[in-house]
Amino acid sequence: MREIYRKRVETLLESLPYIRVFAGKTIVIKYGGAAMSSANLKEEFATDIALLRYVGIRPIIVHGGGDEISSYMKRLDLPVRFVEGLRVTDAATMEVAKMVLVGKVNKEIVGLINSKGAPAVGLCGDDGWLLKAERLVKRGADGSVVDLGQVGEVTEVNIELLKVLEADYVPVVASVGAGLTGESYNINADTVAGALAAALKAEKIMFLTDVGGLMTDVDDDSSVISECTSDEIVELVEIGKISKGMIPKLEAVLTSLRAGVRAAHIIDGRIPHSVLLEIMTDDAGLGTKIIPGNEGPRG
- Count CB-CB contacts under 10 A for residue 215: 20
Query: pLDDT tens across 162-207, in order?
Result: 999 999 999 999 999 999 999 999 999 999 999 999 999 999 999 9
Encoded amino acid at 86, one letter: L
Domains and CATH numbers, the chain: 24-291 (3.40.1160.10)
* Residue 220 confidence (pLDDT): 74
pLDDT at 142 over 90: no
| Distance in angstroms (rounded) separating the CA atoms of residues 179 and 131 | 9
Strands (DSSP E) found in 89-219: 120-123, 131-135, 138-139, 145-146, 152-157, 170-174, 176-178, 184-186, 204-209
* Residue 298 confidence (pLDDT): 42
Q: Supply angle C-alpha 176, 83, 198, rounded to 5.
A: 40
**Can you tell me the mean pLDDT for 237-251?**
84
Half-sphere exposure of 154 (CA within 13 A, CB side): 28
> Could you write out the DSSP letters of every residue in 13-61?
HHHHHHHHHHTT-EEEEEE-GGGGT-HHHHHHHHHHHHHHHHTT-EEEE
Say which residues have a Cβ less than 8 Å from residue 92's Cβ, sequence separation at least 6: 78
pLDDT at 80 over 70: yes
